[in-house]
Structure 1
Amino acid sequence: MDAFPAYFPLAGKKVVIAGSGEAAEAKARLFEGSPARVVRLEGPPALKPHAYIGARLVFIASDDDLFLEQALKAAKSAGALINVPDHPEFCDFTTPAVIDRGEVVAAVGTGGASPMLATLLRGDIEARVPEGAGRVAALFRRFQDEVRTALPEPHQRRAFLREALLGPAAAAAAAGDMDEAAALFREALAEGPKSLGRVVYVEGRGPADLLTLRAARALAAADVLAPDAAVDADVMALARRDAERLTPAQALAERLAEIAAEGKRVVRILAGPPDPDELGALKASGVEVELLAVAEPR
């Protein structure tokens, strides 16, 4: 990872766009509809440091090299984070291609190496992100505190939220009926998570691009990961970074059954076929086991 992606909250924050021309207008369009306070600067006012004080982000765009030099100096003296289109050597950050669904924002960046590639990839991703995704996220944000209070254990919250994302409350929010969505969400929260712990088997020999969507989602939703030693590194990269991880020596059927009995979701990532004895022991313990046809036929 050559650059770390980060999201800056914009509500009530100052964003400065200095300069004129198409590049400046393109940056301004990025913030249309955002809660940021966008300040446009041109000419001499853009060359004074006080104009940049308190800015969360600064964009400087101009064909005038002298203007760029002086505005850059002024913004830096104010301690601002700066982006200068077409001048990566002056940038503290680069701007990605953005998919904007309100509360849901996805971005594709290439570190300034190929904005066109980022734009093409954005189109692929945008087609997969439903228009109502932002409303679903807004619903979940509304109930964050209630969910934490009702379900203090992290794995219980994850189990509930997994179900809720596929349930009627999320569907109502996606369709735009936020009152109905809220009522359905409260009903579901009162009932609590329905699913018990389980062990999901995923083939991890790689390559990662052969993983099915269900397998990739299982890796992303795991509470505990139990990988074989020879699992493909690219497959492991798709797993939750903060999930608990067992070593191969710890990934015994008895231990997996204990974890699943706590209501947690274990993903067993295999470098080869599943062990029939391990599967039999888990099923004998009453653990729900899911075998995913993880890869396409080779």
Structure 2
Amino acid sequence: MPLSALPLFHRVNGQRVVVLGAGDAAAAKRRLVERAGGICCGEPEAHHAALAFVAIDDPRAAEAAAIRLRCKGLLVNVTDRPELCDFTVPSILDRDPVLVAVGTAGASAGLAKQLRLRLEGLLPPSLGKLAAGLYAARDALRQRFPDGAVRRRALDAALTAGGPLDPLRADAAEGIDAWLGSPGDAFDVEPVAIVLTSDDPDDLTLRQARWLGEADTVLHDADVPQAILDRARADAVRGPSDGSPRGRTVIVRSRD
């Protein structure tokens, strides 16, 4: 199944962003831009900007503004008009520097908000400290695991549920040094096999979905549905099921 939108994080710190309109919706967009370090400006300064928010109540005026800005090369978001949007604004969970964005491609901002609130209760405030600690330890990580694929597998194993750096543990950040100093390679690189019970990716078990999400290489039968393969990491190497395993490998077999 194709994505309804391509999720991206756009850096606007120190950059101008056009925000048009008055009232609560426009004020909310200005707060969002300023929170990300952007500089709000009007249409006359559009030639300095790459993004624009249009929060104008009158439908015709909003559409006209969107067309003008788009013709100037800007990507445009029009409040409550998904059909006029080049991009939509997700509901944001902030665990700086970790950002979790929940979007519905404009289908329901209320649904995105409620999902974000559920995640707020699951992800500890210390998650940002863990991310900052891993960033600070990147040189030590490269020394401990010089090979990039090995380093990625080691991190996967450490960050998985119950691992020494489990992101849902409030004290995970305090364990980085001990984990880097531990002997041995605490991860399994033996290939695992998935035999599909149906062509529906929702029928994958939680373990099978996790294997696909962590795999470096996905070897699969020719008739395995694309919807199943889409559950793997985008950067995972793919090939026929009789190919050579490399790194953490998942072999996906079609239904009997």
Per the TM superposition, whether the score is higher than 0.5 is yes
- Give the C-alpha shift of residue 267 in structure 1: 1.0
SS in 1 for 2:191: strand
SS at 1:202 equivalent: strand
* CA contact 1:136–1:170 (8 Å) conserved in 2: no
Cα RMSD of the aligned pairs, angstroms, is 3.4
For 2:220, the equivalent position in structure 1 comes to 227
1:18-29 alignment, distance < 5 Å: 18-29=20-31
Conserved in 2, the CA contact under 8 Å of 1:135 and 1:176? no
Alignment partner of 1:111 out of 105, 116, 121: 105
In structure 1, what is the Cα distance between the partners aligned to 2:121 and 2:194?
A: 27
Is residue 200–residue 267 contact of structure 1 (8 Å, CA) maintained in 2? yes
Q: Distance in 2 between matches of 1:244 and 1:69?
A: 43
The one of 166, 178, 194 equivalent to 1:202 is 194
Alignment of 1:114-153 (within 5 A): 114-123=108-117, 126=120, 128-153=122-147
| Residues 181 and 213 of structure 1, relative CA distance in 2, 3 Å threshold | same
8 A contact 1:201–1:268 mirrored in 2: yes
Contact 1:163 / 1:193 at 8 angstroms: preserved in 2? no
Output the CA distance in 1 between the equivalents of 2:175 and 2:33: 29
* In the alignment, structure 1 residue 175 sits paired with structure 2 residue 170: yes
**Inter-CA distance 81–146: structure 2 relative to 1 (3 Å threshold):** farther
CA distances 1:149-175 after superposition (whole Å, capped 9, x unpaired): 54342321112111331443556x953
Change (3 A) 1:203 1:100: farther
Q: What is the percent sequence identity of the aligned residues?
A: 35
Alignment of 1:1-298 (within 5 A): 1-31=3-33, 33-34=35-36, 36-39=37-40, 46-48=42-44, 50=45, 52-64=46-58, 68=62, 72=66, 75-76=69-70, 79-123=73-117, 126=120, 128-166=122-160, 167-169=163-165, 175=170, 180-188=174-182, 191=183, 193-206=185-198, 207-248=200-241, 250-251=242-243, 255-256=244-245, 259=246, 264-272=247-255
Gaps spanning 5+ residues in structure 2: where?
Answer: none
TM-score between the two structures when normalised by the length of structure 1: 0.68
How far off its partner does 1:7 sit? 1.4
Structure 1: runs of 5 or more not aligned? 274-298
CA contact (8 A) 2:18 2:53 kept: yes
Asked if 1 retains the 8 angstrom alpha-carbon contact of 2:134 and 2:176, the reply is no
1:214 is paired with a residue whose SS is: helix
Residue 108 of structure 1 deviates from its aligned partner by 3.2
Distance 2:221 2:213 in 1: 17
| Structure 2: distance between partners of 1:4 and 1:187 | 39
Matching residue's letter, 1:271: S
Deviations 1:41-96 (A, max 9, x none): 5xxxx342x2x343343212122568646754774565432211123354321222
- The normalised TM-score by structure 2 is 0.77
The one-letter code of the counterpart of 1:175 is A
Asked if 1 retains the 8 angstrom alpha-carbon contact of 2:14 and 2:39, the reply is no
Checking the alignment, whether the CA contact within 8 Å between 2:124 and 2:170 is kept in structure 1 is: no
**For residues 180 and 138 of structure 2, what CA distance do their matches in structure 1 show?**
12
Counterparts of 1:21 and 1:230 in 2: how far apart (Å)? 54
Q: Which has the larger radius of gyration?
A: 1
**Does the CA-based 8 Å contact 1:205-1:270 persist in structure 2?**
no
Match of 1:283 in 2: none
